[in-house]
Every structure is written in C-alpha cells, then in structure tokens.
C-alpha cells in the first residue's frame, strides 16, 4: 500500500466517524484542538499528518487511535 492510499483511507475513516457523530468539521476541530481547515485537509487526504495530530483527532472523537487506521 502506498503513502497516498494510507493518507486517504485515514481521512475517510475520520470523516465517517465525524459524520456518525453528526459533527461539523468545526466541532471536531474544537474537540481536537486543531483548525477546521486542517480537519478538511485530513479528511480529503491532502495532508500527511503526524502521529501527534492523529492522536489529537482520536481523542477529540473519543475513539481509539488505532481504529482510525482500520482498512489500511
């Protein structure tokens, strides 16, 4: 699996979980301590994020970080 596929699938997983919670990108950003623009980049697979930010997103979603990598 190449880097781009991993980045895109991670973003898809974040988006699915955010939508399941009926949150906007702004709400997730607030919970995660990140910007809404950054969340958008992540969900579209446009950013190769750090593990630190992956953990912030997982904590913001109150979800185990390793599960955000499912299907990768």
Alpha carbon distance 31, 1 (integer Å): 31
pLDDT tens, 18-54?
A: 999 999 999 999 999 999 999 999 999 998 999 999 9
pLDDT at 2 over 80: yes
pLDDT for the residue numbered 1: 75
pTM of the predicted structure, to 2 decimals: 0.92
CA angle (43 as vertex; 40, 49 as ends), nearest 5:
90
pLDDT for the residue numbered 13: 97
pLDDT for the residue numbered 37: 98
Residues near 69 by beta carbon (within 8 Å), at least 6 away in sequence = 10, 13
3-64: CATH superfamily:
lambda repressor-like DNA-binding domains (1.10.260.40)
pLDDT for the residue numbered 23: 98
Q: Cα 52 from chain centroid? A: 12
């Amino acid at each position: 699996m190449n880097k781009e596929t991993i980045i895109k699938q991670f973003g898809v997983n974040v988006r699915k979980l955010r939508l399941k919670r009926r949150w906007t990108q702004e709400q997730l950003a607030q919970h995660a301590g990140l910007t809404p623009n950054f969340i958008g980049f992540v969900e579209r697979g446009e950013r190769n994020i750090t593990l630190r930010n992956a953990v912030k997103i997982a904590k913001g979603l109150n979800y185990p970080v390793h599960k955000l990598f499912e299907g990768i």
